[in-house]
Structure 1
Amino acid sequence: MTKTTPLFIRIPIYLLLIAGAVFMVFPFIWMLSTSLKTVGAISQMPPQLIPNPLNWENYATIWSKVDFGRYTWNSFLLVALEMVGALLSCSMVAFGLAMFKFKLRGPIHLVMLATLMIPSQVTMIPTYFIWKEFHALNSYYPLVIPSYLGSAFGIFLMLQYLRSLPKELYESATIDGCSPPGIFFRIYLPLCRPALAALGVFTFMGAWNNTLGPLIYLQDKELYTLPLGLLYLKSENVNQALLMAGAVVTTLPVVIVYLFAQKQFVQGIASTGLKG
């Protein structure tokens, strides 16, 4: 749709988009509203969209009594470790596949893409027993180490972007005497910022919202992440206001990261040719 599109066509489309946006945003607004209500105001009819009074004690309660501060720190620690591993490993593997020619490059690329077709539920039980043999249960190792081994989606995303860059950069740097690691870190990695931003957002969202992995491998409450903290909060049969306060704390970082990285994220997706 462009500026030359007739007004009678644009107006219904704009109204439809606005209605869709309100439909998508309203659950988050209601979650925030409920998190600021008192116990009595939750079941009040008609329901209040703007609570009166605002009850900020719900947030203080989950941070002090349910130890959401520790869960938040654990989540940020895990996300940071996984993002470093994913960005570094995926970009390095993609750089090797894009720049170096060797006999097994085609089969390796094909096998890597084939792993995208395998559901994670298929490998869940064998992977659990592997980590059990390494005595790594009830620790962050099963959650962090796989990110340093690369992921098929991340490698594919970085590979598509690297292929769009001119290979003359690599040839020129080689003539100037720069080593492959130097070419990667000094030239290509800075040029891959849009793709790295897109992969970083995907990694952040996957690691931050990961519930099944921590649920399988973590037993001690001191190691819980925010998604497990929400499950624990729900199991304690707390009121809905406290539960929604926990949900706001869990959701807010993802929204903030996406808002700050939105431009680079969209640019990275567009440049790699991926479509949602």
Structure 2
Amino acid sequence: MCSTEPENMNNGIKCDDDVGDAFGTFGYTRNSVAPIPTPLQTAPTERNATYYNMNHPRRGLALIFNHEFFTISHLKSRSGTNVDCDNLIKTLKSLDFEVNDFHNSPHKEIVKNLERVAEMDHSDHDCLVVAVLSHGELGLIYAHDTAYKAESLWHHFTADRCPTLAGKPKMFFIQACQGDKLDPGLTLKERTETDGQPAATFRIPSQADFLIAYSTVPGYYSWRNTSRGSWFMQALCMELCENGTRYDLLTLLTFVCQRVALDFESNTPDNITMHQQKQIPCITSMLTRLVKFTSQKNGLV
């Protein structure tokens, strides 16, 4: 078997006033100047629609920041990440995304590319995807030359900063560690026995059963096979290829979690502490509708 390794790191009704759960004021006082109104954007989807409108002329851009090598002394090279990157490019192109991949970018280049894309006109696009493949730790991701906060990836694309993506899904996939904790998992047995045989058992992570989509939960390792790629990216690409136009994204990501949780286990027999460890992705969703990719866009992308 190939070796695996962790990724170091109110409807218009007048009611009582709404207030923030914070001490004092939050950037506004009686003497504050009212914000200047911005031009109204046409909503890309009807107000109470169940699904996002995915029938624009183009699917949209997908940015992949792939990191194999680092100038930071304590970070090892990430063998297998180029397999992840190639698989993700192929998968996203099959869903009609225009893919831009960047390799071993320093932090300034990452920011420059994010700002460039945020300033573009996305009026004809359905959505946006950003993926980062790197080392990480709790709350941080590593560029080629330094660490940066994960949330700095998406703050460029808020409705006020990127109005042509307002009301459209913006999806971020992060393959990186979020800490150094290990998850040894828990063995369960099947509910029934058959033909007098003992009930079969299977292992799940102890963090299981509890959309930015992280490869692992806060504080924990994220595993990568040195020849087949990371567990999370393997599972994500498989689900997108097999069911990308069949299920909505949250449903699909549930099955990504299932694949990672049940089908993978670390193989480091020479290091018992790291051997037979488990992993569960962590999905945070602020989506207001379901994301379901439509079938081919007739070569428009």
TM-score (normalised: structure 2): 0.20
Q: Which has the higher contact order (CA 8 A, sep 6+)?
A: 1
TM-score (normalised: structure 1): 0.21
Q: Quick check: which one's strand share is greater?
A: 2
Q: Quick check: which one's helix share is greater?
A: 1
